[in-house]
Homo-oligomer: A and B are copies of this chain.
Amino acid sequence: MIRAVVWNEYVHERENPVVGGIYPEGIHGAIAAGLDADDGIDASTATLDQPENGLPLDRLKETDVLLWWGHKAHPKVDDATVDRVAQRVHEGMGLIVLHSGHFSKVFKRLMGTPCSLRWREAGERERLWAINRSHPILAGLGDRIELPNEEMYGEPFLVPEPLETVLISWFEGGEVFRSGMTWQRGAGRIFYFRPGHETYPTYHNPTVQRLLRNAVHWAYNPAAAWTDVHEAPNVPVDKAPEKIEQKGGSLHKAGEEGYR
């Protein structure tokens, strides 16, 4: 049973009647309901206004895959929350970043790039083309996904070259976008999925729901958490795999910690 947590800032739904009408249970609620249709996934939710942004350390330790939707409230996410999430990704937790989450602190921290793009909110048609239709994230989805109304995101999308380009979008207004990409950071797998503007019912779309279920399975790393992934252990001379003798000058005393 993969433990998935859907995080949402949960702001638009409560402030904007259009969004609230589409997502009465919140965007997180709709996504979690879609995930729960999979017997192998146990989905729960977390929101910005909860203590520690809904993601205290204890909860993150019991999270296998985190999904992240944010937009208006990116700056309100605590830096300590970003630290905890990044640490857990490095340890092996999967991360699925959705739509406007491209500008979240979490995603920027893990990418090391601006994560910027062009955008237009015109309800235009989006067609996502599969680059590798046999990729596990696209299982059962065919060679393309059509969404009748979506926000446009256009290239250049300032992210590092991905491990895999999974989907590329065509937009009615003339732009393109790499709408599905994968990266690895430490032991953790990351998938970015573009669609999901708050004024359209994208997360109620059965195809999108299937894709997100697939992505949760893909992002799940069954290995034990790599909890010391940030440590830089000294390997003293007498513990070297091969027998060697100390030579030359030395700055560190025996057994001393390294600098960081």
State the A residues within 8 Å of B (CB).
12, 16, 18-19, 71-74, 86, 90, 92, 100, 103, 109-114, 116-124, 127, 129-136, 139, 143-144, 146, 149, 152, 154-158, 160-161, 163-165, 168-176, 178, 183-187, 197-200, 221-224, 226, 229-237, 240-242, 244-252, 258-260
Contacts and interface: CB of A to CB of B under 8 A. Distances in A.
A245 B172 CA distance: 10
B112 A111 contact: yes
A18 B226 contact: no
B123 A246 contact: yes
A170 B241 CA distance: 11
Nearest to A170: B176
Given A114-B229, A116-B232, A156 B176 contact: no
Given A174-B241, A235-B120, A134 B185 contact: no
B130 A155 contact: yes
A23 to B, nearest CB: 12
Contacts of A152: 235, 240
A221 to B, nearest CB: 6
Contact of A173 (B136, B149, B230, B240): B240
A152 B73 CA distance: 41
A237 B157 CA distance: 20
A130 B156 contact: yes
A172 B130 contact: no
Q: Lowest 4 CB-CB distances: which A-B pairs, in order? A: A123-B248, A174-B241, A123-B247, A134-B187
Nearest to A155: B129
Contacts of A116: 229-232
Given A172-B244, A175-B235, 5 more contacts: A113-B186, A121-B250, A123-B249, A133-B156, A134-B224
A115 to B, nearest CB: 9
A205 to B, nearest CB: 14
Contact of A184 (B71, B132, B187, B248): B132
